[in-house]
Chains A and B, each alone.
Chain A
Amino acid sequence: MNTGIPIQYFLILATIMFFTGIYGFLTRRNLITILMSTELILNSVNINFMAFNRYLFPHKLDGMFFSLFIIAVAAAEAAVAISIIINIYRRFTTINVEDVDEMKY
């Protein structure tokens, strides 16, 4: 059961990944990079799920399934997001998020 790596290591890694994703989401201007940041956030959550499942409820599979779901949903989301980005490019000829601000007051 004990693999030698304490759970805190996983959690610290996940937290670093999560806030890296948030930072990227808030600061990057390129829509593709923002999408990548979103993936980072999702994967950090996956790590959390796996770690908690492994350490707290080793005889159950719920966390694993959640991770699998998130991976599948992330794939689908990436497809949708990229198609949206392509459409935005066609409409504005840019994928800079600051220039895409028509929906305002």
Chain B
Amino acid sequence: MINFSYSIWLLLIPLMMFFILGLAGHKLGPRLSGLLGTSGLAIITMLSFIIAYSYFFGTPKNGEGFKAIIAYNITWLQLIDNLHIDIGVLLDPISVMMLIVVSTVSFMVHIYSLGYMKGERGYERFFAFLSLFTFSMLGLVVAPNIFQMYIFWELVGISSYLLIGFYYQKPSAVAASKKAFIVTRFADLGFLIGILILSFYTKTFDFITLTDPSGPAIAKTGGATFMGLSVITWSMIFVYMGGVGKSAMFPFHIWLPDAMEGPTPVSALIHAATMVVAGVYLVARLFPVYVMASPQALHIIAYVGAFSSLFAAVIACTQTDIKRVLAYSTMSQIGYMMLALGVSGYGGHNGLGFMASMFHLFTHAMFKALLFLGAGAIIHAVHSNFMTDMGGLRKYLPITHITFLIACLSIAGVPLFAGFFSKDEILAAAFEHNKFLFAVEYAVAGLTAFYMFRLYFSIFWGKETQYHHTPHEAPLTMTIPLIILALGAALTGFIPFNKLVTSDGLPFESHLDWGVAVPSVIIGLLGITVAWAMYSKSSNLPDRVASAFRLGYKWAYNKFYMDELYLFITKKIIFRYISEPVAWFDRHIVDGTMNAIATVTQVTSFRIRKFQSGQIQQYAFVYISGVIFLVILLVYIWR
């Protein structure tokens, strides 16, 4: 057994960086703080790769597959004798894989930010927050118990809030950060309720005990039921609600597009590659409980995932802000991952969906981070977020063009790119378990190819736009991460996930299912062709199509009026009929009582204050009268 206790440094280094940069950043100056933060991340990335290598290839397997290892553990809070909250590090295939994703993308984003954020106010603050985020995300990933996960879950929420609101002078950024925080916080309420129910019935927070097939969570499900579902199922649904909020699934997706107000590297790191997949990770973490004890919850996950992916893909086809297109695309791809988990079984080839979901999480992190960083380079060059201001950029931004194209090919599922392999596994898993969801995902695959290439063609081809000054390629610090991630987006598909990351730790055989893959590739190519026909040259075809489907287009363009619906529910119903009466009660009854007490006291004391005259002889007179009165009382009356 290899000792992994050094993995605690994964958490300590970024935390240390956060304090150093946060407290002393203004003394260090922007250049040094940026380099310090980035070098800290370089160490973490190296550590993650070392851990991954020694976990996957260094431990003897003896045909038992990969076991979960508690690398480090301290009891942090002893609640009662057998219920305590620990802080520690848990290594198993999915957490090790997530370590790679988080540290790699975070490292790339750090390097990229060195160039992208150059000259911005609050450069040191930005890097301090990035370190805080990395710390929280790594803590979430390696959490050995659900409570530590919840703590770090909230911490990533806070870092996300801080980074979305990084440009705090911009009212829209402030509003977006508040929206993200409140929506996810509301969803986390469900997570907390789920944890409470779960720990109440199982008397443990520990993941290993919870996911043990003979453990209390799975074996004891015959107990209490509520509305036809077992208590464990209810708690799992509540826990999943937290995941819905964090992963921007329908109906809690409304914060994600607005979160694009943050700096673009932040969108790449938090709102594309790492934090938003926390919900998927949470479900994967508790997967044995879902699959064995609460299949109904798993159905909900599958349908929510499928609906979100379709919903987001339709919206993505109509948006013109490139970051928003990418945001909806993220939501759609996460829907894929959720769906894959939802249709998966446990163990061996049944666990294909689980493997596919983790595989897609991995490849998606690569190509989506790449897309966002590429979008950042484009915005950097053009100073606009809107596709309408772009066109013909392939001549000016050659490196960005090539890397962006690779990412688009990857997400569209063109063979031999990473997205093709992972998406094919998801489709195969869906095909085996649920034909309806499989059909939905086929449609989404076509839409994905269409909207990605709509983006690609209208940015890099299309009409020649007159720019104020010639756009120029981004500096080296920005292009190097693009190139590295492009390699990832092209090549990570060849990683044999079926040997490494599986639902039960045992490798299984899986082959490309050509019956599934060929039609999906054809659908993808069809989407690309349609996009090419509509957007590669300047024409009025897009407008004609839009006016042909006027009503549907308008709905999708306005995001199916979800924001308006939320505003209607909160402002017109909750605020008016609940909050306002409560506020009235608070102001008039609760405050009124207190104010009355204060007023009476004040009036009385105003009346009697003249007694304190400052005349000593008056006081003495009152005193002596009192004494005489008492003497008379005691001597003559109460004898």
Contact = CB atoms under 8 A, between A and B. Distances in A.
Interface of A: 22, 25-27, 97-98, 100-105
B613 interface: yes
Interface stretch (B146-154, B283-291, B616-624): B616-624
A27 B620 CA distance: 11
Given A98-B615, A101-B615, A26 B624 contact: yes
Contacts of B615: 97-98, 101
For B610, B614, B615, B621, the residue with the greatest tally of chain A CB atoms inside 10 Å of its CB is: B614
B612 interface: yes
A23 to B, nearest CB: 10
Contacts, number: 26
Contacts of A25: 617, 620
A15 B612 CA distance: 31
B614 A26 contact: no
Interface in B613-638: 613-617, 620-621, 624
Contact of A103 (B609, B614, B620): B614
Contact of A101 (B609, B614, B620, B624): B614
- Judged by DSSP, the binding face of B is helix
Given A22-B624, A26-B624, A101 B613 contact: yes
Most buried by A among B610, B617, B620: B617
Interface secondary structure of A, over-half rule? loop
B610 A105 contact: yes
Contacts of B621: 26
B620 A105 contact: no
A97 B610 contact: no
Contacts of B617: 25-27, 97
B237 to A, nearest CB: 66
A102 B613 CA distance: 9
A57 B617 CA distance: 38
B620 A104 contact: no
Given A97-B617, A104-B612, 8 more contacts: A22-B624, A25-B617, A26-B621, A26-B624, A27-B617, A98-B615, A102-B614, A104-B614
14 contacts: A25-B617, A26-B621, A26-B624, A97-B616, A97-B617, A100-B614, A101-B613, A101-B614, A101-B615, A102-B614, A103-B614, A105-B609, A105-B610, A105-B612
A104 B617 CA distance: 13
A100 B617 CA distance: 11
Contacts of B624: 22, 26
A98 B614 CA distance: 8
Contacts of B612: 104-105
Q: Which 7 pairs across A and B sit closest by C-beta, in order of nearness?
A: A101-B614, A104-B614, A105-B609, A105-B612, A103-B614, A104-B612, A26-B617
Interface centre among B610, B616, B624 (most CB of A within 10 A): B616
Contacts of A102: 614
Contacts of A27: 617
A101 B619 CA distance: 12
Contacts of B613: 101, 104-105
Nearest to A102: B614
A85 B621 CA distance: 21
Nearest to A103: B614
A98 B619 CA distance: 12
A103 B609 CA distance: 12
A2 B621 CA distance: 39
Nearest to B618: A26
A25 B620 CA distance: 8
Contacts of A105: 609-610, 612-613
Interface string B585-624: 0000000000000000000000001101111110011001
B439 to A, nearest CB: 86
Contacts of B620: 25-26
A22 B621 CA distance: 9
Nearest to B610: A105
B617 to A, nearest CB: 5
B134 to A, nearest CB: 63
A90 to B, nearest CB: 19
B286 to A, nearest CB: 69
Contacts of A26: 617, 620-621, 624
A25 B615 CA distance: 12
Contacts of B610: 105
A33 B617 CA distance: 13
A22 B612 CA distance: 21
A46 to B, nearest CB: 19
Contacts of A104: 612-614
B619 to A, nearest CB: 10
A99 B133 CA distance: 71
Nearest to A98: B615
Contacts of A101: 613-615
A105 B616 CA distance: 14
A103 B472 CA distance: 79
A23 B613 CA distance: 20
Nearest to A31: B616
A62 to B, nearest CB: 23
A27 B616 CA distance: 11
Query: Which one of A100, A101, A103, A105 has the highest number of Cβ atoms from chain B below 10 Å of its Cβ?
Result: A105
A103 B612 CA distance: 8
Contacts of A98: 615
A92 to B, nearest CB: 12
A104 B624 CA distance: 20
A22 B401 CA distance: 106
A25 B624 CA distance: 11
A35 to B, nearest CB: 12
A35 B300 CA distance: 93
A31 B615 CA distance: 12
A97 B620 CA distance: 12
A3 to B, nearest CB: 29
A95 to B, nearest CB: 12
Interface string B556-582: 000000000000000000000000000
A105 B615 CA distance: 11
A25 B609 CA distance: 24
Contacts of B614: 100-104
A105 B610 CA distance: 7
A22 B616 CA distance: 13
A62 B609 CA distance: 45
Contacts of B609: 105
A22 B617 CA distance: 10
